[in-house]
Amino acid sequence: MYGHPLLVKQWAKIMKPDATPAQIEQARIMRAAKIAKRIFMQRQNDLFSPSAPAEKNLPDGSRKVSTFA
């Protein structure tokens, strides 16, 4: 099929079959999982970041020093 590239792209999108209810539900579940993972990873970064409030409250001598340096 010959035509303008944008029209060909639109035609291909129009001809694509509609998603089944199972595919829609799967996409919804995956989106929710992705959001939950993003929130979890953000909380982990906040918990273990060097600027975390718990780290600031420790006295200087109680911070562990790495022995692998």
- Report pLDDT digits (tens) over 22-48: 999 999 999 999 999 999 999 888 877
Rounded to whole angstroms, how far apart are CA atoms 62 and 41?
A: 27
pLDDT at 5: 86
User: Confidence class of residue 61 from pLDDT cuts 50, 70 and 90?
Assistant: low
Rounded to whole angstroms, how far apart are CA atoms 31 and 12?
A: 25
Return the residue matching tokens 């692998």.
68
